[in-house]
Chains A and B, each alone.
Chain A
């Protein structure tokens, strides 16, 4: 917490400047693409960083929670009989709200169950044990989905009209993408408010700083950790809904790569740090789109991970470091 004065503003100022330059460089459409991809990574990265912050576990199953979220969305929408765009606006709003709520609650619940049965028994075990367990949970989730939905790529109903455009300053921008970005921002602001303003948020922060001391102060550790898993997994569930709305496809292996990118985002921003995870997600979205725009689509992954290596060499705690006060 010994920060030099002015440092707090320097990083955001540089980032905003870079973003503006990038906007000019690649134009509005690609800028929106980068924000959209980044929003999905950021939503998943939040779950990684929250879990790491509170129990120092790298939850490798988290990417698969996102994948299951997309399948819950697919299952829900197709069993309700939707198979394409809903043109009736009130109905669309009801369906969207309902889908997000359902996917988030279901995935939150699954997250709590995973924590209760896979991680809690190992809470005081050496750190390698829960890590391996997390990889095991990842395989279990993938296999369950493969058994029920098969290994093929699945075409899921896109209830929003993917071709709808709005005119923003002379450029037609996809409505779905704007919606995705808006949802991500609303959820992130809600999370930040929850962690910094509520009683449970305070319990999460105190548990993150010192679990034993928090317990002595009367914080119910088990409940707090369960709530952390619920929120992190619910956000991954929301990202799953977004995946279906935006790309309209999913498959049982979706979680691996998405999880890897999201984990990278969390590390890039400073794992354990909520703002850092969101920032890292957007950064990776921007790096990917920029490398495509520059004609290096073949190398986009190498560039993403190359930058991660550079950041870690020069700033091992990630861009924003572990600001303990915000850690959850």
Chain B
């Protein structure tokens, strides 16, 4: 934050903070915040403010607070409506469960919830707006989210400039963290002070895991690959192509076929094209909202229902009974031949306890990322416990590679890029009995 010179950062228009000013300023959008006083934030914007001020954040807050707990918040930045709701909600619930179970003495931790879905689909611009809202809420100490890689791309520079740490439960795109894939561009303001970590491992492993399923479990040798032309989908498909070819399989056409989401997800002519080369596996790099379910449905229409289809965690959005989920759209045809991978640990150290607690609180089974949301909250809460309500210190604590976290996901550290050292991918397949995804196996792709 104390970048001494250079152009003023675009985003954190933080006002000089008068000592003794309350610590409960609120978000502007009134997300899920408990306090509803946003007058201070608004006033702050009017006054402008100097982003170079040495200590823009409320490290003085605990001291100035009266007796009793200090109010702090964890920001939530997830898609929470529309087609993306089945992704966002179980993750948010994981965070809520963590808050309910982990006491942080001296602090009263609440949430500031922001939804990045616009018209039902996650939206990078909305995500960027949300992060600015969270940055402007001085009581937010860390953020859990976002869910989607293209949203993260828009948010990381803002969080980096503001020094607000973000922990993503689900992002898997390689370019978000790894400098060799361009992550340096996302943290230009403070290249040495990363403010983004994630508990999910990266696509270069998830795409590889998909290829592993296709080659070793399905025993496919000839794959047809489609992507949705988005950051997440394209990277996933490219990695699938690379690994599948390396394992000895053939990819029809040699690369992935892009279908922009705006094309209404009409895959008919692409599938006719695929059919000519009789593939024994179809891989989709993308999410349900960008055409995953429609693709499976149209494969059946095109007489390709017997060909197994695989994808990444973008297809992991609940049982066939969840309206708008992949399995719901794939319809009765969502057959045992569909696979997907999740860059997360399925067999967490104590799964039954988490599931039972989750069920007791929300009356449902946890989602694929509930435990990840829980773990992100654990990381932020642990930093809060250790260094107090100071954004800069929390950021430094969380991103320090020497700290090890003992979470519901197991023990891990963040490396110097903010990636988890736990690199486990879980494989799932469709279970016709429960009409839901069924865990098949998980594989640790090791460090590096």
Q: Which residues of A contact B (CB under 8 A)?
A: 29-30, 33-34, 36-37, 84, 146, 150-155, 162-163, 165, 174, 176, 247-249, 251-254, 257-258, 288-289, 292-293, 295, 297-298, 300-301
The answer to whether B269 touches A292 (Cβ under 8 A) is yes
Stretch at the interface among B19-27, B68-76, B258-266: B258-266
Q: Is B17 an interface residue (CB 8 A)?
A: no
Contacting A37 at CB < 8 Å: which of B258, B259, B262, B268?
A: B268
Q: Name A292's contact: one of B83, B264, B270, B294 (CB within 8 Å).
A: B270
Task: Name the distance in Å between A81's Cβ and chain B's nearest Cβ.
Answer: 16
Beyond A84-B332, A254-B264, A300-B263, is A152–B273 a contact (Cβ under 8 Å)?
A: no
Contact of A301 among B262, B273, B303, B328 (CB under 8 A): B262
Q: Specify which of B85, B263, B297 is in contact with A248 (CB 8 Å cutoff).
A: B297
Q: Cβ of B331: which chain A residues have Cβ within 8 Å of it?
A: 155, 248
Interface size range of chain B in the complex: 35 or more
Given A153-B293, A288-B269, 5 further pairs, Cβ under 8 A: A146-B120, A154-B323, A247-B265, A253-B120, A301-B260
* A153/B269 contact (C-beta < 8 A), A162-B300, A162-B301, A301-B262 known: no
Q: Is the CB of B329 within 8 A of A253?
A: no
Query: Is B82 in contact with chain A by the CB < 8 A criterion?
Result: yes
Set B260, B265, B301, B305: member contacting A298, Cβ < 8 A:
B260
Give the docked Cα–Cα distance between A219 and B297 (Å): 50
Assess whether B301 is in contact with A152, with CB atoms less than 8 Å apart: no
A-B CB contact pairs (8 Å), 7 listed: A33-B269, A146-B120, A151-B119, A163-B305, A253-B119, A293-B269, A298-B260
**Nearest A residue to B275 by beta-carbon distance?**
A29
Alpha-carbon distance A301/B294, docked complex (angstroms): 19
Chain A neighbourhood of B297, CB < 8 A: 155, 247-249
Residues of B within 8 A of A251 (CB): 120
Question: CB-CB < 8 A to B119: which residues of A?
Answer: 146, 151, 252-253
Instruction: Determine whether the beta carbon of B329 is less than 8 Å from that of A249.
Output: yes
Please tell me which one of the listed residues B83, B259, B260 contacts residue A152 in the complex, with CB atoms under 8 A apart.
B83
Which of A37, A249, A289 has the most chain B CB atoms inside 10 A of its CB? A249
Is A30 within 8 A of B269, CB to CB?
A: yes
**How far is the CB of B243 from the nearest CB of chain A, in Å?**
21
Q: Are A297 and B270 in contact (CB under 8 A)?
A: yes
* Chain A residues, Cβ within 8 Å of B262: 257, 301
B268 touches A154 (CB 8 A): no
Binding site for A on B (CB under 8 A): 81-83, 85, 119-120, 229, 253, 257-260, 262-266, 268-270, 272-273, 288-289, 293-294, 297-298, 300-301, 303, 305, 323-324, 328-329, 331-332
Q: Is the CB–CB distance between B294 and A152 below 8 Å?
A: no
Knowing A153-B293, A249-B265, say if A297 contacts B258 (CB, 8 Å).
yes
Decide: A257 and B264 in contact? CB cutoff 8 A: yes
SS of B interface (majority) = helix
Output the least CB separation between B48 and chain A (Å). Answer: 35
Which residue of chain B has its CB nearest to the CB of A165?
B303
Is the pair B264, A153 in contact by a Cβ cutoff of 8 Å?
A: no
CA distance A120 to B289 in the complex (A): 38
Q: Is the CB of B273 within 8 A of A150?
A: no
Please, how many angstroms separate the alpha-carbon atoms of A304 and B331 in the complex?
32
B273 lies within 8 A of A293 (CB): yes
A153:B81 contact, CB within 8 angstroms: no
- The residue in chain B whose Cβ has the minimal distance to the Cβ of A289 is B269
- Asked whether, in the complex, the Cβ of B324 is within 8 Å of the Cβ of A153, the reply is yes
Taken together as a complex, chains A and B put the C-alpha atoms of A153 and B253 apart, in Å, by: 30
Nearest Cβ on chain B to A38's Cβ, whole angstroms: 11
B272 close to A33 (CB less than 8 A): yes
CB-defined contacts of B303 to chain A, threshold 8 Å: 163, 165
| CB-CB nearest in chain B for A158 | B301
Inter-chain CA distance A300–B270, complex, in Å, is 11
Alpha-carbon distance between A34 and B323 when the two chains are bound, in angstroms: 31
A168 to B104, CA, bound (A): 72
Nearest CB on A from B63, distance (A): 46
Could you say which of A34, A150, A176 contacts B269, with CB atoms under 8 Å apart?
A: A34
A181 to chain B, nearest CB (A): 13
Is B264 in contact with A298, judged by CB distance below 8 angstroms?
Answer: no
